[in-house]
């Protein structure tokens, strides 16, 4: 057979095996990938007709659920009218979206568009460094983040990531990224209260700033709650103390809302649970419910001011071709309109409570160490025993995920833990899920 004949004789699965390099998934002959054909509401169907409840909303992103025709229509209309203009120019959807995002936030921000969560974080780091340079503190370049957090896959965002498994084969990464430990209540010492423990963890950031010379620290980046690293939800004293510490030492606070934003935790943005005002906020995923790629770095007005003035200062020398794509901005606007019309942030809060109540029952199981969540985001920590809290092996977690899939349920797992295991199951279903979906 010649090459053309070989190509034509292959099944879809065989072609996938031959031509497609999948994200993360290891190549395993015996476990072919799921080839997904369509999505409707919270359910996806593979090309053989098997249906699954997608309790991960893809990668924590399809917030309004699958199959929204109005999102397809708005994208088509925009493409017909204006397919593209670089964001060195501007266009109506980008302007309206920036205004809309401002209305959802508690302070005044300017909006910088990119394509992915990783991009948005890269932009945040570059702005933080340039801001300090232009503000008379050129030595502030270091970024502090937390172990177990995930901030993206590009070199800077991966440097901020605190999951060694994802990093060690690509090192050395960018210089100037420092990690501290997160507040993980489940593993706190018994002899201190949750508040005391959280304050101690926040002060670890302050100590790090002092050890490193505060004049060298540009920013702290954190998610409002660690999502992919195991659904680690801080007490509010932690987040508020981190904000105070940043203010005290002239360090910018970057909040990564890539997963927590757009209703995932039951509010528009995760940080709004904690009554703080971040200097920079990054967003992606739920911004368009992943119907098209788009991300945002929102920069507090005061910081933007440092980019005005002299010829030397006013350039932020960063460009990306696709950021602020007109169809993506139009989809984001319509997506936010759907969220508002269907009251999906409130729904996330209410359904989230229902989900968590149901999951609480699992705590009676000897291998369920902890169940935690906020809004429609939940984690189930699977351990060998409640006393030892020893994470179960990768193999056992993989079996659990496969067993759920065999019953028609897609669930996730966290990316990394301190011990190098992935022992936390994660749930992040569409905010538009029905009561029956959640019951399922």
Interaction of residue 230 with ligand PLP, rule CB under 6 A: no
CA dist 430 and 218 (Å) reads 36
Q: Between 71 and 225, whose beta carbon lies closer to ligand PLP?
A: 225
> Among 15-23, 146-154, 360-368, 393-401, which window interacts with ligand PLP (CB under 6 A)?
146-154
Q: Between 220 and 383, whose beta carbon lies closer to ligand PLP?
A: 220
Q: How far is CA 47 from the centre of its chain?
A: 28
Question: Residues with Cβ < 8 Å from 208, sequence gap 6 or more?
Answer: 144, 178, 180
> Among 69-77, 144-152, 173-181, 361-369, which window interacts with ligand PLP (CB under 6 A)?
144-152
Q: Would you call 103 helix, strand, or coil by DSSP?
A: helix
Which of 368, 356, 362, 364 minimizes the C-alpha distance to 392? Answer: 368
Among 256, 381, 416, 437, binds ligand PLP (CB under 6 A): 256
Strands (E), 72-194: 109-114, 142-146, 177-180
Report, in Å, the least distance between residue 368 CB and ligand PLP. 24
Report, in Å, the least distance between residue 161 CB and ligand PLP. 8
Site mask for ligand PLP (CB under 6 A), range 399-438, x = bound:
----------------------------------------
Report, in Å, the least distance between residue 272 CB and ligand PLP. 16
Among 231, 255, 258, 327, binds ligand PLP (CB under 6 A): 258
Report, in Å, the least distance between residue 226 CB and ligand PLP. 8
Interaction of residue 223 with ligand PLP, rule CB under 6 A: yes
Joined tokens for residue 54? 């997608």
- On whether the CB atoms of residues 107 and 185 are closer than 8 A, the answer is no
Sheet holding 295-300, edge to edge: 109-114, 295-300, 280-283, 252-256, 217-222, 142-146, 177-180
Q: Between 134 and 295, whose beta carbon lies closer to ligand PLP?
A: 295
DSSP 320-376: -SSTT-HHHHHHHHHHHHHHHHTTHHHHHHHHHHHHHHHHHGGGGSTTEEEEEESSS
Interface positions with ligand PLP (CB under 6 A): 59, 116-118, 121, 150-153, 223, 227-228, 256, 258-259, 284
């Amino acid at each position: 057979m010649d090459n053309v004949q070989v190509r034509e004789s292959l099944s879809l699965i065989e072609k996938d095996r031959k031509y497609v390099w999948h994200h993360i998934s290891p190549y395993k002959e015996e476990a072919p990938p799921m080839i997904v054909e369509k999505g409707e509401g919270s359910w996806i169907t593979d090309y053989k007709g098997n249906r699954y409840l997608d309790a991960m909303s893809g990668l924590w992103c399809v917030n309004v659920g699958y199959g929204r025709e109005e999102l397809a229509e708005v994208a088509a209309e925009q493409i017909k009218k204006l397919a593209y203009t670089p964001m060195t120019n501007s266009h109506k959807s980008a302007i309206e979206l920036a205004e809309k995002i401002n209305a959802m936030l508690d302070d005044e921000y300017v909006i910088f568009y990119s394509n992915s969560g990783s991009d948005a974080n890269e932009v945040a780091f570059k702005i933080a460094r340039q801001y300090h340079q232009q503000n008379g503190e050129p030595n502030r370049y270091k970024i502090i983040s937390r172990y177990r957090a995930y901030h993206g896959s590009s070199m800077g965002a991966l440097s901020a990531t605190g999951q060694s498994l994802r990093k060690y084969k690509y090192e050395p990464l960018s210089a100037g990224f420092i990690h501290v430990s997160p507040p993980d209540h489940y593993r706190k010492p018994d002899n201190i209260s949750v508040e005391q423990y959280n304050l101690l963890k926040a002060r670890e950031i302050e100590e790090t700033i002092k050890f490193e010379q505060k004049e060298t620290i540009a920013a702290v980046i954190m998610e409002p709650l660690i999502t992919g690293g195991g659904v680690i939800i801080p007490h509010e004293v932690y987040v508020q103390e981190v904000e105070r510490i940043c203010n005290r030492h002239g360090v910018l606070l970057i909040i990564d809302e890539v997963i927590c934003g757009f209703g995932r935790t039951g509010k528009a943005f995760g940080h709004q649970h904690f009554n703080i005002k971040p200097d920079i906020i990054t967003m992606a995923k739920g911004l368009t419910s992943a119907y098209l790629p788009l991300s945002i770095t929102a920069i507090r007005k005061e910081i933007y001011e440092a980019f005005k003035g002299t010829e030397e200062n006013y350039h932020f020398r960063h460009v990306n071709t696709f950021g602020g794509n007109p169809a993506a901005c139009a989809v984001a606007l319509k997506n936010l309109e759907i969220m508002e019309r269907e009251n999906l942030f409130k729904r996330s809060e209410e359904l989230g409570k229902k989900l968590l109540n149901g999951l609480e029952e699992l705590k009676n199981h000897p291998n369920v160490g902890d169940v935690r969540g906020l809004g429609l985001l939940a984690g189930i920590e699977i351990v060998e025993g409640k006393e030892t809290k020893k994470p179960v092996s990768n193999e056992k977690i993989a079996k659990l995920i496969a067993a759920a899939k065999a019953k028609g349920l897609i669930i996730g797992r966290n990316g990394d833990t301190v011990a190098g295991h992935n022992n936390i199951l994660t749930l992040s279903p569409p905010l538009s899920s029905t009561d029956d979906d959640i019951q399922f």
